[in-house]
Structure 1
């Protein structure tokens, strides 16, 4: 299924966090925090005077509880407004 966000919405796939610490300790699933980093899969056209500054393929940082999570074809995705994106990772 292909999704095209409307207005100033952005479709993001979370990037999984590391399973080991720098010292080599394995982190169990129950202790992991939700990743706040993801890859932009699709971007809406914008809304009114709001121009879209993120592009498909960029890696971004976003607020911990931002957006709406859902599954499409077995993949967990997040749809959020561009305002919820904090930074673009370069």
Structure 2
């Protein structure tokens, strides 16, 4: 049975997107060409509460593509996959086509 992690509070579970190191034609790409640190939102927590007890929901949803900070987050391993937990406010932005 596969485990599913539901983040607590305002945390977001991210699967990092690893850019390809080769083109489809087999040309090796230098490591620095695609240094965009991005990921896909796998799960989101319910949010956090303000000082009055009102729920502040997480601004992201499952499936969003996001820009991640260069450092930070907590590495989590579920089965054979690696994920990272970030706080909602640590995510730099969403990526759109």
Identify whether the pair has TM-score above 0.5, normalized to the shorter chain: yes
Deviates more, 1:58-67 or 1:33-42: 33-42
* Aligned pair partner of 1:62 in 49, 65, 68: 68
Stretches (4+) displaced over 4 A: 31-35
Q: Distance in 1 between matches of 2:36 and 2:6?
A: 23
Unpaired runs of 5+ in structure 2?
51-55
**Matched positions, count:** 86
What secondary structure sits across from 2:89 in the alignment?
Answer: helix
| 1:79 equivalenced with 2:85 (yes/no) | yes
Q: Distance in 1 between matches of 2:75 and 2:58?
A: 21
The corresponding residue for 1:89 is: 95
Q: Distance in 2 between matches of 1:11 and 1:34?
A: 21
The 3 A distance-change label for structure 1 pair 65 and 7 is same
TM-score, scaled to structure 2 = 0.76
TM-score, scaled to structure 1 = 0.81
Unpaired runs of 5+ in structure 1?
none
* Aligned pair partner of 2:12 in 10, 13, 21: 10
Q: Quote the RMSD (CA, aligned, Å).
A: 2.3
